[in-house]
Amino acid sequence: MRALVLALAACALLGQTQATRAAREFRQDREQSILEEFFRLLRTQDLAGTAELLRAALTARGLDARLLTVDGAAPVVYATRGVPGARQTVLFYAHYDYQPVVAKQWIGHGPFEPILRDKPLEQGGQRISFPEAGSEIDPEWRIYARSSSDDKGSIQAMLTALDALKAAAVTPSVNLKFLFEGEEEDGSRNLGRILAAHKEEAAADMWLICDGPVHQTRRQQIYFGARGVTTLDVTVYGARRELHSGHYGNWAPNPAMRLAQLLASMKSADGRILVKGYLDGIEPLGAAEKRALDEEPVIDEDLKRELWLGSTENAPRRLSELINLPSLNIRGMASGSVGDEARNVIPARATATVDLRLVKGVDWRAAQDKVIEHIRAQGYFVVEAEPDEATLLAHERVAKVARGNGYNAVRTPMDSEASRQVIRAVEAARGATVKMPTLGGSVPLSIIQDVVNVPLIGIPIANHDNSQHAANENLRIRNLWDAIELFASLYTM
Amino acid sequence: MRALVLALAACALLGQTQATRAAREFRQDREQSILEEFFRLLRTQDLAGTAELLRAALTARGLDARLLTVDGAAPVVYATRGVPGARQTVLFYAHYDYQPVVAKQWIGHGPFEPILRDKPLEQGGQRISFPEAGSEIDPEWRIYARSSSDDKGSIQAMLTALDALKAAAVTPSVNLKFLFEGEEEDGSRNLGRILAAHKEEAAADMWLICDGPVHQTRRQQIYFGARGVTTLDVTVYGARRELHSGHYGNWAPNPAMRLAQLLASMKSADGRILVKGYLDGIEPLGAAEKRALDEEPVIDEDLKRELWLGSTENAPRRLSELINLPSLNIRGMASGSVGDEARNVIPARATATVDLRLVKGVDWRAAQDKVIEHIRAQGYFVVEAEPDEATLLAHERVAKVARGNGYNAVRTPMDSEASRQVIRAVEAARGATVKMPTLGGSVPLSIIQDVVNVPLIGIPIANHDNSQHAANENLRIRNLWDAIELFASLYTM
């Protein structure tokens, strides 16, 4: 039996090696036209237009493609290709929506006007013109545009890998499904509803989640889970209007100071979370997961240098370990005005948006409850809507806490058969991998798992330094080329 | 001798009563045209144009008026009227510049488009059209415009009081000087230079500072000093760029959290300032000042209700007492984005602007030093300019601290001859007064005192609920009418 498994694995490996080579040769002949198609995708800003463009792109490649819709949601692009005799169905998930943009923070071009730079902006990267057909393309160049790495790069690589196999007359070994979501950056708030309404389309032996960055060493990464996430908006109050800081300072409460004190109470100076019970219930890592963490390259010092960090939170614990624990992060904090715009007032209110990242065993609503309980324990009367005069007068401190959406963490065991099959196919194309029990970022695995309940495994392709979610998002061209080979290998696993 | 002083005082009182009555009758006949002139002044936004308008208004009233200028500064409007036989010269100071505006925060009109409302905005005040000549004007109406109360209202009242005395053929008892500054809201950064270059013009037996609000009970207030003020902009750093909060949260330092912790370390939960030595050196109040504080009406509970405050800082100490102590106030705090604009990042930096209010005996530069020393004591390496890569990598925590301008507190003894003379003249027009050793707000008394070294006494006229320095600044019409009588009395003191 063991011999048979090994023989099958060896056979699959041969197919994957062949597919990978075909993908490379195909790409090398057509780099400029691949980029042209990708730029068209990056220029498409509206979600409905993007969905239609992708549906057409999949149809043109011979797939049965259509849009899955429910009322009030951006459509999901869905396509399938059955393979005669295939015993498995693998679904490739990515999302075509993107983070909000602040156009003025983009240097030299608009977020939906893709450009090339000869190296990263932080290293003085200069804009270069789009290459003529046949001219050489340096794989260290970067494509700057919103969603270039998160996730349209994955989608483009999947499309090109389909072309490559077809050109080489290589047949996939598994039935293929593609499912591209349009609301991931909005918390995938309708994904569960769409999947529940399209159970047949969502059915597969495994889902591969093609979202996120590769490892900071540039080695291919596979993740077997993701943190859950939710948010809280916390607002505290001073007087009902801004007050002159001279006439009332020392007497009227300053909401910025109160918010600072409240936030400061949530973490120690070295980064430990002080919210009571916040770490309770965490499901411990298994043996395979612990081994993977031990094998993970140590990158902390390199990363500190790259990011200009003189210290880290929770030192000396490493990033790889900390990502498997819940976090509490201030996304933003606002009160009054600063710098040249500051006026000599006591602000009337102060707001912070906090995100909570959660690991397996911790429910996102329970995590919100714990933070809200912590706020109460600091003497605040907590309300959910804007407090009125009577409420403000009746309590020494009032905080409005608005709960955001969320989802829970998910983890697929690393030593399952599906996990081992995926690891083999990825390593056939990309060599040794970094295997992460949990991705730091949150992809909506729990929403998917609630409906399909199959192994979910993450295959990210973007460079780690892609400025994801911030301005000047970019994709290193080498990562796009690598991803084409990676998907070709996965299609034949 | 004492009999002579009393006789002179009684004689002066008679003149003041007559002047006050003349001012009232004059105003009652011309309310609409007074408002017309005032609205013209409020509509004038540019500083050079305002200075010229005021120079012309003073010249038209028979004064010797001109602009005092030095390179690079907004002009000071200066005018004088000598009175034959007068033994004293009294200078009336106000400023014609104003706080910056955020136009979109103004409800229903632009900040330089004055309008009338039938009551305060907070009480649902509705816009009413400008009254026809001769129609009744409710003194509880309010004039909404930037600088209506800070300080153009004072200036308008001074002008109208000149008209009233002239119409009634009442001669001032003192030589009058008027000096209107154009950079007070910018820290009076050139006032010292202008006064030093115009010592003769600045010379007087006393300066009356006509800036600030009356007491919260609406009783006329006289202040004999003002707190000093300065600012610090504090910026702390995370990574050199925004990071995905999922991939790096728990590991990369969050500058918003660090700023919150740093600010929280400066004050206790109940409002005590924790910066070491911050209260050292304070010059204690004298017997007259302590008595004045004891006599001051207790308004704290009323004020809390008006401002919707469920608690105050430093309770149970009263506002009147706290204003005679240094304060530390956060004007604004900013990092990342909040609410709907929040993205799931760890911000790259966080900034707060802090103002320090100071009392007699505490130098503003020394106060800055103490706060900077406190920041160092929290583990920060403090720089004055944007830190570079090497600096950020070499230190666990880096704070950039930008020092603002400032000036020191000043206090004129309440039992001096000048103080007593002013109290008598004010009370002749306005009845019992509230006498404050120190105004909470900072007017540039120390800059003036450094050059002229004479008694400086504050005669504010604005309603306390004028939204000064914030949006929707306003002046209650009753306060403008009262001020006309007040200045008429002071001209004849």
| Interval A411-463: pLDDT, tens | 999 999 999 999 999 999 999 999 999 887 777 788 899 999 999 999 999 99
Q: What is the mean pLDDT of chain B?
A: 94
Cα dist from B485 to B25, B60, B159, B459, whole Å: 10, 21, 11, 13
Mean pLDDT of A18-44: 96
Q: What is the mean pLDDT of chain A?
A: 94
Of A369, A392, A407, the last residue of a domain is A407
Confidence of residue B296 (pLDDT cuts 50, 70, 90): confident
Q: Is the pLDDT of residue B1 over 60?
A: no
Tokens of B313: 């800082």
Distance from CA of B173 to the nearest CA of A (A): 33
> Do residues A403 and A413 both lie within one domain?
no
Enumerate the residues of chain B whose CB falls inside 8 A of the CB of residue A325: 250
> Do residues A482 and A384 both lie within one domain?
no
Distance CA B431, CA B428 (A): 6
Confidence of residue A407 (pLDDT cuts 50, 70, 90): confident
Chain B contact for A350, CB < 8 A? yes
Q: Is residue B302 part of a domain?
A: no
Confidence of residue B487 (pLDDT cuts 50, 70, 90): very high
The region of weakest confidence among A140-149, A215-224, A474-483, B171-180 is A215-224
> Do residues A172 and A41 both lie within one domain?
yes
Q: What is the pLDDT of residue A440?
A: 79
Distance CA B6, CA B12 (A): 10
Confidence of residue B212 (pLDDT cuts 50, 70, 90): confident
Q: Is the pLDDT of residue B442 over 80?
A: no
Q: Is residue B291 part of a domain?
A: no
Q: Smallest Cβ distance to B245: which of A331, A343, A379?
A: A331
Q: Is the pLDDT of residue B354 over 90?
A: yes
**A contact residues 159-178, partner B, Cβ 8 Å cutoff:** none
Of A352, A376, A407, the last residue of a domain is A407
Q: Is residue A288 part of a domain?
A: no
Enumerate the residues of chain A whose CB falls inside 8 A of the CB of residue B327: 245, 249-250
Mean pLDDT of A12-20: 85
Distance CA B213, CA B224 (A): 14
Sign, CA dihedral A414-A420-A421-A425, equals positive
Chain B contact for A337, CB < 8 A? yes
Q: Is the pLDDT of residue B21 over 80?
A: yes
Chain B contact for A186, CB < 8 A? no
Mean pLDDT of B484-493: 97
> Do residues B418 and B457 both lie within one domain?
yes
Enumerate the residues of chain A whose CB falls inside 8 A of the CB of residue B469: 242, 244, 343-345
CB B203 within 8 A of CB B97: no
Q: What is the pLDDT of residue B5?
A: 59
Distance from CA of B258 to the nearest CA of A (A): 8
Q: Is residue B41 part of a domain?
A: yes
> Do residues A439 and A455 both lie within one domain?
yes
> Do residues A242 and A202 both lie within one domain?
no
DSSP H or E segment with residue A457:
strand A456-458
Strands A127-128 and A89-95: unpaired
Q: Is residue A307 part of a domain?
A: no
Range of the domain at A261: 228-282+325-407
Sign, CA dihedral A286-A288-A291-A297, equals negative
**B contact residues 189-228, partner A, Cβ 8 Å cutoff:** 212-213, 226-227
Contact residues for B87 (Cβ-Cβ < 8 A; gap 6+): B174
User: What is residue A418's DSSP assignment?
Assistant: H
Name A128's bridge partners.
A116
**Distance, CA of B133 to chain centre:** 33
Name B26's bridge partners.
none
Distance CA A244, CA B476 (A): 17
> Do residues A205 and A103 both lie within one domain?
yes
Mean pLDDT of B268-296: 94
Q: If you search the block for the tokens 């077997």, which residue do you land on?
A: A224
Name A435's bridge partners.
A222
Tokens of A306: 């790259």
> Do residues B258 and B361 both lie within one domain?
yes
- How many structural domains are present in chain A? 2
Q: Is the pLDDT of residue A1 over 60?
A: no
Chain B contact for A319, CB < 8 A? yes
Chain A contact for B272, CB < 8 A? no
Q: What is the pLDDT of residue B6?
A: 62
Q: What is the pLDDT of residue A11?
A: 65
Mean pLDDT of B262-276: 97
Q: What is the pLDDT of residue B407?
A: 86
Q: Does residue B84 sit in helix, strand or coil?
A: coil
Chain A contact for B246, CB < 8 A? yes
Distance CA A103, CA A76 (A): 27
> Do residues B348 and B422 both lie within one domain?
no
Q: What is the pLDDT of residue A249?
A: 87
Q: What is the CATH number of the domain that holds A239?
A: 3.30.70.360
Burial A132-170 (b: 16+ CB within 10 A, else e): eeeeeeeeebbbbbbbbbbbbbbbbbbbbbbbbbeeeeb
Q: Is the pLDDT of residue A8 over 70?
A: no
**Distance, CA of A328 to chain centre:** 17
Asked whether the whole model's pTM tops 0.95, one would answer no
CB A156 within 8 A of CB A38: yes
Q: Is residue A320 part of a domain?
A: no
Mean pLDDT of B95-105: 94
Distance from CA of B184 to the nearest CA of A (A): 13
> Do residues B445 and B472 both lie within one domain?
yes
Tokens of A25: 């040769």
Q: Is residue A311 part of a domain?
A: no
> Do residues B121 and B177 both lie within one domain?
yes
Give the tens place of pLDDT for each residue, A300-330: 999 999 999 999 999 999 998 999 999 999 9
Q: Is residue A419 part of a domain?
A: yes
Q: Is the pLDDT of residue A6 over 80?
A: no
Closest to A450 (Cα-Cα) out of A407, A417, A415, A413: A407
Mean pLDDT of B35-41: 98
Contact B338 A353 (CB under 8 A): yes
Of B377, B407, B437, the last residue of a domain is B407
Q: What is the pLDDT of residue B34?
A: 97
Structure ipTM over 0.90, yes or no = no
Where in A408-446 does DSSP place strands (E)? 410-411, 434-436
Pairwise pLDDT comparison (B263 vs A298), residue with the higher score: B263
The percentage of residues in chain B with a pLDDT greater than 90, rounded to a whole number, is 86
Strands B225-226 and A221-223: unpaired
The percentage of residues in chain B with a pLDDT greater than 70, rounded to a whole number, is 98
Burial B311-348 (b: 16+ CB within 10 A, else e): bbbbeeebbbebbbbbbbbbbbbbbbbbeeebbbbbbb
Q: What is the pLDDT of residue B11?
A: 66
Q: What is the pLDDT of residue B219?
A: 93
**A contact residues 457-476, partner B, Cβ 8 Å cutoff:** 464, 467-471
Give the tens place of pLDDT for each residue, B162-193: 999 999 999 999 999 999 999 999 888 899 99
Q: What angle in degrees, to the nearest 10, is found between the helix axes of A47-60 and A31-43?
A: 150
Q: What is the pLDDT of residue A4?
A: 60
Q: What is the pLDDT of residue A468?
A: 80
Chain A contact for B383, CB < 8 A? no
Phi, psi of B331 (to 5 degrees): -80, -35
Q: What is the pLDDT of residue B9?
A: 66
> Do residues B82 and B158 both lie within one domain?
yes
For A237, nearest residue in chain B (alpha carbons)? B309
Contact A307 B334 (CB under 8 A): no
Mean pLDDT of B35-46: 97
Cα dist from B248 to A313, A329, B347, B395, whole Å: 10, 10, 11, 20
Closest to A371 (Cα-Cα) out of A284, A281, A237, A262: A262
Q: What is the pLDDT of residue B4?
A: 60
Q: What is the pLDDT of residue A445?
A: 85
Q: What is the CATH number of the domain that holds B449?
A: 3.40.630.10
Give the tens place of pLDDT for each residue, B110-130: 999 999 999 999 999 999 999
Tokens of A105: 């923070």
Q: What is the pLDDT of residue B7?
A: 64
